[in-house]
Amino acid sequence: MKRTVRHLADLKGKRPIVGLTAYDAIMGGLVSDAGVDFILVGDSVGTTLLGHETTIPVTMEDMVRHTAAVRRSSPQCLLVADLPFAEASMSFDRFLDSARRLMQEGGADAIKVEGGRDLADDVEKLVATGIPVLGHIGLLPQTVKAIGGYRKFGADREEAERLYTDAISLEEAGCFAIIAEMVEEEVATELAGQLIPPLIGIGSGQGCDGQILVTPDLLGMTPGPVPSFVRPYANLSEEISSALGRYVRDVRERKR
């Protein structure tokens, strides 16, 4: 049965929500078959598949293409697509057109936007057009250069209050769920208890209504270090390298 945003709302208070990223048809099918509640086609495609150092170079064309690929292999899964850098801050017309493209051309069921109270008015207008929106607070990868790198959010009272304001603003704007990235666990747990929509954590502790991770990090496919909150469930990078090396040797030794 096709899953919708209502499915996530219904899970709050019953069991943890599970989300993972996917960027292509093969991984989309595997993630969907694993039984996740939703798939995010994140702009993290830029740092995982496209070789960029940050998510900032990712374009609308990139997001539409990768979203469509995942949709083809996971037709029944709730599919959320990231709005890339600056698309939400240009103008509302640009915001609406970009969201429309992700749904019409990419096949997304909903879009994700980074930001809080600064975007709430436009998010509310977008939701009013019938486009479901997943919010994102805390660490915002699209602004990582502006904040000087990756860090936890909510350690002091002032920052915790800003996170609360952001979350409430997105709730009032109509977001069906909100991602909290690298938020102090105590703050995230309190937010999850106060919000009506589910709060889905990434690096924000176990008190959220669910968890999402970047799939290549989870599978041990990411070159170099992964975030400290990631516990890899496999080491596919090593296994793939070993398999490829064996194939090269077998061909050269005429064993194949």
Instruction: Please identify which of the residues 124, 181, 185, 186 carries the catalytic annotation.
Output: 181
pTM > 0.85: yes or no = yes
pLDDT tens-digit series, residues 164-202: 999 999 999 999 999 999 999 999 999 999 999 999 999
Q: Which of 88, 183, 178, 84 is nearest to 139 (CA)?
A: 183
Q: Output phi, psi for 112, to 5 deg.
A: -115, 140
Q: What is the pLDDT at residue 120?
A: 94
Q: How far is CA 225 from CA 216, 221, 229, 250, in A?
A: 12, 10, 11, 31
**Which residue carries 């208890």 as its tokens?**
193
Q: Output phi, psi for 41, to 5 deg.
A: -85, 90
Domains delineated in the chain: 5-218 (3.20.20.60)
Contact 119, 143 (CB under 8 A): no
Q: What average pLDDT score do residues 76-84 get?
A: 96
pLDDT band per the 50, 70, 90 thresholds, residue 149: low
pLDDT tens-digit series, residues 5-58: 999 999 999 999 999 999 999 999 999 999 999 999 999 999 999 999 888 899
Distance from chain centroid for Cα 195: 19
pLDDT band per the 50, 70, 90 thresholds, residue 88: confident
> Is 181 one of the annotated active-site residues of the chain?
yes
Instruction: Output the 3-class SS for the chain.
Output: CCCCHHHHHHHCCCCCEEEEECCCHHHHHHHHHCCCCEEEECCCHHHHCCCCCCCCCCCHHHHHHHHHHHHHHCCCCEEEEECCCCCCCCCHHHHHHHHHHHHHCCCCCEEECCECCCCHHHHHHHHHCCCCEEEEEECCHHHHHHHCCCCCECCCHHHHHHHHHHHHHHHHHCCCEEEEECECHHHHHHHHHHCCCCEEEECCCCCCCEEEECHHHHCCCCCCCCCCCCCCCCCHHHHHHHHHHHHHHHHHCCCC
